[in-house]
A = this chain, B = another copy of it.
Amino acid sequence: MHENDGQNSRPSPNGSGRIRDVAREAGVSTATVSRTFNRPDSVKHQTLERVFEAARKLNYIPDSAARAMGSKVSRRIGVLIPTIDDSIFTRFIGALQQRLSKDRYTLLVGVYDFDPEYEANELHSLIESGVDGVVLCGARRSNDLYELLQGRNIPFVNASIYSPESPYPSVGPDFRSAAKELTRYLLDFGHRKIGFIDLASDTNDRAALRLAGIVDALEPECLSLPNERHIERPLSFEDGRIGLRTLLEYTPDLTAVICGNDVFAIGALFEAKDLDISVPGELSIVGFDNLELSAQISPGLTTVNFPTAEMGARVAEKLLMTLMGKPTPHAIHIETNLIIRGSSGPYRGLSR
């Protein structure tokens, strides 16, 4: 009864009405074709085969825009990252992607260059693309953005930060504790004049937390972090070099530098080499993140391992749960651990 009527069965002139073509070819209705792809177990085995065969024959690729329209769901997740030039973030989105694709979700990436205004733009653009959920980095951002998401009922997760006290869900490390631990490690080596290079802490809460953690460790020793020993720079190897030079300018007897991430730290390491400062003999340099490069370089970089791949998987899972209406922990802690390599050691006196 459902066979081709033979008179209008050309597979559409150039690609229009496409699910209909498959339906006609297989001799079923469009609803059945749709079900075949979306809920195969609700379709009789034999019909399934016919539809698959027809789809294959016609080279059918469903139109996700139409799907999104029809179903009110796009199966797309958006993620906003501050930069794509730090492999810590590419690892993260790689892991996100991988986990999401298992549930047939697709990832849309927006990059905002650490600029809150771009971040807002990119979020709008993600929403325009119809994402079902959003992943953000950190928690510090304009209230407007949170309201935008909540107003549209778009679930989201703040990644890269662990903030149980925040009203918003989060998955990430406790940078404050990690920074404290790292600083303690340096203090135990006898370092007293410690410098700090990081991103701008006013727009970046991770940087602010690292700063707080350092102060946490310094205070019991009656030490502090004066302004001239706290440098904020944009992110690049070169800025790590600049950071170190600036620190040394004001504090020539500096004995240790904490860098908010390994990019700065590696830059500082290069600069130390060029300045003929022996590491760790005269200067200890430590970082955050544990990039692949940090293990390769020599001396190896002492750093705080930040398992962003694991974080990506956890974030994805949390978001997927939320999308399925299942409850999830409000804040998930990602463990970091101190990795000690050759770039740090006891203070051994200056040769400068």
Contacts and interface: CB of A to CB of B under 8 A. Distances in A.
A84 B94 contact: yes
Nearest to A83: B90
Interface in A219-245: 236-238, 241
Contacts of A293: 237, 293
A119 to B, nearest CB: 15
A64 B152 CA distance: 15
Contact of A65 (B15, B62, B68): B68
A66 interface: yes
A237 B292 contact: yes
A125 B106 contact: yes
Nearest to A93: B84
Interface in A1-39: 14-15
Contacts of A15: 152-153
A90 B89 CA distance: 12
A232 B59 CA distance: 36
Contacts of A148: 59
Which range contains the number of A residues in contact with the other chain? 35 or more
Q: Which of A84, A153, A241, A273 counts the most chain B CB atoms within 10 A?
A: A84
A129 interface: yes
A343 to B, nearest CB: 14
Contact of A298 (B111, B238, B274): B274
Contacts of A128: 61-64
Interface in A64-101: 64-66, 68-69, 74, 84-85, 87, 90, 93-94, 97
Contacts of A59: 148, 151
A155 B85 CA distance: 29
A124 interface: yes
Given A59-B151, A66-B69, A106 B129 contact: yes
5 contacts: A65-B66, A69-B69, A94-B111, A270-B297, A274-B298
